[in-house]
Structure 1
Amino acid sequence: MKRQTTDIVIAGGGVAGLAAAAAFGTAGFNVTIIDPTPPVTVGDQDGSDLRTTAFLQPAQRFLETAGLWSKLAAHAAPLQIMRIVDIGTEKPVTRDFDAADISDLPFGWNLPNWLLRREMVARLAELPNVDFRAGVGFRAMLARTSELIVTLSDGSQLAAKLLIGADGRNSAVRQAAGIGAKTMRYGQKALTFAVTHDAPHDNVSTEIHRSGGPFTLVPLPDHDGKPCSAIVWMDKGAEVNRLAALDADTFETAANDRSGFLYGPLRLATRRMVWPIISQIADELVAPRTALVAEAAHVMPPIGAQGLNMSLRDLSCLLDLATAKPVHLGDPKMLATYARQRHPDIRLRVTGIDALNRASMAGRPLAQSLRTKGIEALYGAAPVRRTLMNLGLGAG
């Protein structure tokens, strides 16, 4: 079988990998993207990803450069206010972080993951220099001075200047590169689903804290004429498994109790899905001719919309370096610069989200009281509040 040549091979056809292929393809690079599982692009089909992703402002700008935002904007629900509600103490505390304090735009925009895949796949079909091989996975790689040979699961080989590992927390690319990862486990899982409710969400993303983990409602476009929100409900693994097994009526009762009825009665609009919660950082971000991005490089609990937005910051950094000097694509200097620019930010944000998650898990009265006082203190100092909002958007 004849070995084919390309500029970039992307392993992983999730949202991050598809965004990478669109961005590098739009920039003029020849790209081959592979994934052993073809993407599910219909919401009610078995295997569809019913989670949602909130794209913050820098991520939205990246999607524009990739030719994606024009396809996504009409389906997105804006996030104008981030609301934190602590109902774990005798006196509940509510604090709002309003994007208007720092920007003329919303904090971000929320979209269903299955729809993201649909529109991203459509974008790749428009790019003649992008080859999407769904159903084909990564098997092995051999780095040379001037190129890298990638062997695929169908036995074919590709010669490329750069391999981007966007193949998830159990990344085969990371393992093939001999890169380890530090993993922190919390004994938590996340239950994800969408609901309709009577009260309008008014483009407010609401994170409700009690014990076990946050219960977050993120705005979605209306569903069947009703206000709609995506929910991420984090708790101890055994409790999430119990909730996932409840019949719909009993589950809705539990969800209404956990939400404090802030939106009125919640009614299931989708099936429920369960995801394990961990934090993880790869020991290194690069190997010869190889860069790790997204969950191959870092994983964190779904708090503050940081996960995929960090992934797109990885891609934005790589794209900037690649387009600045295309002749040096994948060489040691480019990859060392990528690692130097991204690793500190990754460590800062993973550590910060880890601390927020541990505080949210607090079940003892004293710990809950300290969490509440921390929310009040951070909100009360205007310069600190603005700094936190800018950090959340990826600035600083």
Structure 2
Amino acid sequence: MTDTCDILISGGGIAGMTAAAAFGTAGFKVICVDPTPPVTNGAAEGADLRSTAMLQPARALLERAGLWEDLAPHAAPLQIMRIIDAGGDEPEPRVTREFDASEISDQPFGWNFPNWLLRREMLDRMGALDTVDFRTGISTTRLFTRMGGAKVSLSDGSRIEAKLVIAADGRGSAMRAAAGISVRTHRYGQKALVFAATHLIPHENVSTEVHRTGGPFTLVPLPDHNGKPCSAVVWMDDGRLAQERMDMDVATFEAEASKRSCNHFGPLTLVSRRQAWPIISQHADRLSSERVALIAEAAHVMPPIGAQGLNMSLNDIATLLDLANARPDGLGDAEMLDTYHKARYRDITLRVHGIDLLNRASQAKSGIARDARAAGLSALYGSAGVRKMLMQMGLGMR
């Protein structure tokens, strides 16, 4: 059986579903496939317990995709980004700097959402669009392209003919490999522990990064949990240490996490399962080939610092959507895809390298390296012009 569509999206994660909703809302006929049905309940087995900070520019795309109105009631605003250096002999703050969104905008830096909730709302949106066909339990297996279109074989034996194939199938992308696009990968030996925790002191919409060694310990605001202040936590460290913490009993883990946070919001109480994710840096050598565009982790992967990952993915989608709307008759042709590569590649490369440098600095073990990191933070913050420029760059502003 062969079906036809304008766009086939390989991968139904958050980026793939956002792309499906955005292109479907714009009137393109979309088929999106993923081997795993999305888990849309945070308490269910297999739920993605990470959270995502949608930065300011992301809101425009979410509005275009018809998603923002339903997401807004669940948003936890991120008004202030606080960075703490705790690299001294004892795990306590020695340098604290705050970056306030009011310096550059009348809006917060962004809004934080649990990933499982994003999937729930995106699934509902796709279901409301007659232009989107979302198929789970199915993966893409083979790709054949020609100047006029692409044919993709699926794991259920069917085939899809499309003008454009969007590879949103993750860091091990099958469509990227089928298109013959290579990647460059760096492994840090780190893992990120992710979980949600309540605390006594309100976060007041402040996202806090605590740097000591091994990687940052980040607390990102979530809505209150059972009447108590709550944050999503990402704790990056050496992979062996992270695994040991995965195996700790809850009381011991809470004590260790509270200590690593410098008790900034008071004792942390675990309110979710713990999950561990390997940390790598990776980017594709090209973002397109004949009839294929790479987005999200098929195109770029980086450590979870500065909320860059998914927001870069949304920039990928917005760029493709603009190009498709500007020339609907040229959907997926060489001109469109060459323009996409040129529009996104430099920005992606710069951000991947920038986050790589920040992560290496956050891993600092020696006292000299920690002192240099603290001095660098103070120097960057000390210049109002530099501070504002860094905040604007972080948001992806031009």
TM-score by length of 2: 0.99
2: CA distance, partners of 1:256 / 1:115: 26
2: CA distance, partners of 1:326 / 1:285: 20
| Partner SS, residue 37 of structure 1 | coil
Is 1:266 aligned to 2:268, yes or no?
A: yes
1: CA distance, partners of 2:160 / 2:171: 24
1: CA distance, partners of 2:104 / 2:19: 29
2: CA distance, partners of 1:341 / 1:61: 18
Quote the offset at 1:395 in angstroms.
Answer: 1.2
Q: Could you say which residue in structure 1 is the equivalent of 2:379?
A: 377
Quote the offset at 1:283 in angstroms.
Answer: 1.1
Quote the offset at 1:44 in angstroms.
Answer: 0.7
One-letter code of the match for 1:53?
T
Is 1:78 aligned to 2:81, yes or no?
A: no
Quote the offset at 1:145 in angstroms.
Answer: 1.4
1: CA distance, partners of 2:255 / 2:40: 31
| Partner SS, residue 351 of structure 1 | helix
2: CA distance, partners of 1:360 / 1:182: 22
Quote the offset at 1:50 in angstroms.
Answer: 0.4
Q: Could you say which residue in structure 1 is the equivalent of 2:215?
A: 213
Deviations 1:327-355, CA, capped at 9 Å, x for gaps: 00000010000000100000000000000
Q: Could you say which residue in structure 1 is the equivalent of 2:101?
A: 99
| Partner SS, residue 392 of structure 1 | helix
1: CA distance, partners of 2:161 / 2:303: 36
Q: Could you say which residue in structure 2 is the equivalent of 1:10?
A: 9
- After superposition, residues 153-192 of structure 1 pair within 5 angstroms as 153-192=155-194
2: CA distance, partners of 1:288 / 1:106: 40
| Partner SS, residue 386 of structure 2 | helix
| Partner SS, residue 381 of structure 2 | helix
Q: Could you say which residue in structure 2 is the equivalent of 1:25?
A: 24
Query: Which 4+ stretches in 1 moved above 4 angstroms?
Result: none
| Correspondence for 2:248 among 239, 246, 263 | 246
Deviations 1:206-248, CA, capped at 9 Å, x for gaps: 0000011100000000000000000000000000001111000
Is 1:280 aligned to 2:282, yes or no?
A: yes
2: CA distance, partners of 1:13 / 1:161: 19
| Partner SS, residue 314 of structure 2 | helix
| Partner SS, residue 346 of structure 2 | helix
One-letter code of the match for 2:394?
G
One-letter code of the match for 1:282?
A
| Partner SS, residue 358 of structure 2 | helix
1: CA distance, partners of 2:285 / 2:338: 14
Quote the offset at 1:4 in angstroms.
Answer: 1.4
Deviating more after overlay: 62-71 vs 81-90? 81-90
Quote the offset at 1:144 in angstroms.
Answer: 1.4
One-letter code of the match for 1:49?
D
2: CA distance, partners of 1:5 / 1:362: 52
Deviating more after overlay: 196-205 vs 133-142? 133-142
Q: Could you say which residue in structure 2 is the equivalent of 1:118?
A: 120
One-letter code of the match for 1:37?
T
| Correspondence for 2:205 among 203, 206, 230 | 203
2: CA distance, partners of 1:274 / 1:61: 31
Deviations 1:238-287, CA, capped at 9 Å, x for gaps: 00001111000000000011011110111001010000000000111111
1: CA distance, partners of 2:331 / 2:56: 27
1: CA distance, partners of 2:245 / 2:4: 50
| Partner SS, residue 161 of structure 1 | strand
Quote the offset at 1:65 in angstroms.
Answer: 0.7
One-letter code of the match for 1:80?
Q
| Partner SS, residue 362 of structure 1 | coil
1: CA distance, partners of 2:42 / 2:82: 28
Aligned length: 395
One-letter code of the match for 1:145?
M
| Partner SS, residue 141 of structure 2 | strand
Q: Could you say which residue in structure 1 is the equivalent of 2:333?
A: 331
Q: Could you say which residue in structure 1 is the equivalent of 2:138?
A: 136
1: CA distance, partners of 2:126 / 2:311: 21
1: CA distance, partners of 2:327 / 2:190: 44
One-letter code of the match for 2:390?
L
One-letter code of the match for 1:156?
S
- Indicate the percent of aligned positions where both proteins have the same amino acid: 62
Deviations 1:284-316, CA, capped at 9 Å, x for gaps: 111100000000000000000000000000000
Q: Could you say which residue in structure 2 is the equivalent of 1:345?
A: 347
Quote the offset at 1:150 in angstroms.
Answer: 1.0
| Partner SS, residue 200 of structure 1 | coil
Quote the offset at 1:89 in angstroms.
Answer: 2.4
| Partner SS, residue 372 of structure 2 | helix
| Correspondence for 1:308 among 304, 307, 310 | 310
1: CA distance, partners of 2:150 / 2:76: 41
2: CA distance, partners of 1:82 / 1:384: 15
Quote the offset at 1:47 in angstroms.
Answer: 0.6
2: CA distance, partners of 1:6 / 1:46: 33
Q: Could you say which residue in structure 2 is the equivalent of 1:386?
A: 388
2: CA distance, partners of 1:83 / 1:61: 25
| Correspondence for 1:235 among 234, 237, 249 | 237
| Partner SS, residue 160 of structure 1 | strand
Quote the offset at 1:180 in angstroms.
Answer: 1.0
| Partner SS, residue 323 of structure 1 | helix
The answer for unaligned runs of 5 or more in structure 2 is none
